[in-house]
Amino acid sequence: MKKLTRYNRKVRVCFIQSALFICLLWIFFIPNFQKVNIGENDRYTVELDGVNVGVTADEATAKECLRRARRQLAAGNNELVLANAELKVTGEHVLIGRVSPSEDITQNMLAVLQKNERSTLNRSYTVKIKDFSINLSSKEDVLSLLQASLEKYDTKHQYDVSLILDPEREVNALTTSVISAEEEKRQKAAETPFPEAGIESVISDVMAKVEPLTTEKNFSDFELGLQSLDFGDKVEIVESYLPGDELTDLDTAVDEVTKDKETNQIYEVKSGDTLSTIAQAYQLSIKDLVAMNPTLDSENSIIRIGDELTVTVPEPELTVLHTEQKYYEEDYEADVKYVDNDSWYTNKSEVLQEPSAGHRKVVALVSYSNDSQISADIQKEEITYQAVPKIVERGTIVPPTYIKPISGGRITSGFGRRKAPTRGASTFHKGVDWSTPVGTAVMASSSGTVIRAGWGSGYGYCVYISHADGRETRYGHLSRILVRAGQKVEQGDKIALSGNTGVSTGAHLHFEILVNGTQVNPLKYLN
């Protein structure tokens, strides 16, 4: 009986040991095995960029591990980190299988992301000015850049730049606001007004309604100097993330934005201008000014009021508009006075009185775009001595226009010196020849009166027309004449047919224009 009892004790001990062993197995191993689902995927192999990073029981766990890995990667850097990787989750159905702890998967993914980390993007601010843009590392650099653009004109530091939300943009973008220190004080005072009570309030109301007496200011009463300051271009500042090599240091940015670059502008010639004074005003040589303007033949070319010339102006990337109140003394010219003559053509004029300059003292509100003056609004003027105006008599009748007398045709001989094409022909060609088949319609170049229609020796059959401006046109080597002497014709009327008569080497039309009885180059008069 004792032996049996001893055996039973051994059995119980073995049973207890086995139970403990099974419990330990359950605690340490069973959680790492997936639940068995009949007919479904129970085990998922996870790959990141082709690297096996572990096994999960479902796809959601794999995605969550990737999110954790990305957060851990970002946590180790103050800026935005770019690290792309492709996640692949492959499912399979197994009876029993082990899954990886999520922490292990996360760390494995982190290692892959770190290998794929391409670059760290820095928080930056892109400043856009028209087609120009530059990237800076901070708002402070942006403000310093903008302030540097103003310092050339704001030497006393009266104005400050601030960044405000751009109301024209749907996304959060900044733009600029330039305000004077005095205006800023007034705005702050308006935001926190001090209350007035009793008699003080009554006095304030009365004084507000009192209009100041209108007395003329003396020159000394004007406050000279800078009156307004702002940017002439829209400035947009956008926050972004960029690699460090795309950022520009502040000194370089200031140089790029504020340094002058040569740009072309159109200058309208004013009274008193010469090529010399215009070139000097824009720091050009007369030679360079002529080279920039094809309308100028030489340095001695004549320019007229209203002519437009191309000049170069040094301008920075960012335009600064500013207004200054200035006192100055200057010589000035009076406006030209015109006397209309209804019997003259508009191309005729005569100076009746030569001008002479006057002298004046001026206080003016002068507006500038960078260093170029835009306008001058005179606030006070005192004439030392009056200018004498130029008086010009001018015609009012619009002179006739001249058109090409044939349609088509090729110029075979121009106006001027030439080798005589045949015996009897002149070595100085007094008109222009167009090669055209016999029988081509010849039209009156301008309205007028036919003064000759018939044979004209070397001209062959010809037509001469006198015009209202005193000029004359001639049409030679015709095959047939369709008008008679004394007949009135309108511009474009058919007057003849082209031919090959007279001293001629082939079918063509000879055409002349005479001014004051002398032949001129017709091509300079045709519209």
Q: pLDDT per residue over 120-146, tens digit each?
A: 677 899 999 988 999 999 999 999 999
pLDDT at position 422:
73
In a domain, 286, yes or no: no
Task: Please tell me the total count of domains within the chain.
Answer: 3
Intra-chain end-to-end CA distance of the chain, in Å: 144
Whether residue 479 contacts residue 501, with contact meaning beta carbons closer than 8 Å, is answered with yes
Average pLDDT over residues 17-44: 58
Higher pLDDT, 283 or 179: 179
CA-angle at 477, arms to 471 and 481, nearest 5°: 80
In a domain, 224, yes or no: no
Please tell me the distance from the alpha carbon of residue 513 to that of residue 33, in angstroms, as a whole number. Answer: 110
pLDDT digits 0-9 by tens, 20-32: 766 665 555 444 4
In a domain, 485, yes or no: yes
pLDDT digits 0-9 by tens, 376-399: 999 999 999 999 999 999 999 888
Question: How far, rounded to the nearest angstrom, does the alpha carbon of residue 396 sit from its chain's CA centroid?
Answer: 41
Please state at what angle helix 102-116 crosses helix 59-75, rounded to 10 degrees.
Answer: 50
Given a cut of 70, is residue 228 above it in pLDDT? yes
Percent of the chain with pLDDT over 70: 83
pLDDT at position 344:
87
In a domain, 257, yes or no: no
pLDDT digits 0-9 by tens, 419-465: 877 776 778 899 999 999 999 999 999 999 999 999 988 899 999 99
Average pLDDT over residues 32-45: 60
Residue 112: domain span: 33-117
User: How does DSSP assign 470-497, residue by residue?
Assistant: S-EEEEEEEEEE---TT-EE-TT-EEEE
Percent of the chain with pLDDT over 90: 49
Residue that is last in its domain, among 98, 117, 136: 117
Residue that is last in its domain, among 58, 93, 117: 117
Query: Could you tell me the two tokens for 202?
Result: 């009554």
- 518-523-526-527 Cα dihedral, nearest 10 degrees: -150
Higher pLDDT, 500 or 119: 500
pLDDT at position 193:
56
In a domain, 261, yes or no: no
Whether the predicted model's global pTM rises above the 0.85 cut: no
Three-state secondary structure readout of 221-249: HCCCEEEEEEECCCEEEEEEEECHHHCCC
pLDDT at position 106:
93
In a domain, 229, yes or no: no
Residue that is last in its domain, among 370, 398, 426: 398
Given a cut of 60, is residue 275 above it in pLDDT? yes
Q: Per mean pLDDT, which of 149-153, 218-222, 347-351, 476-480 is the most reliable?
A: 476-480
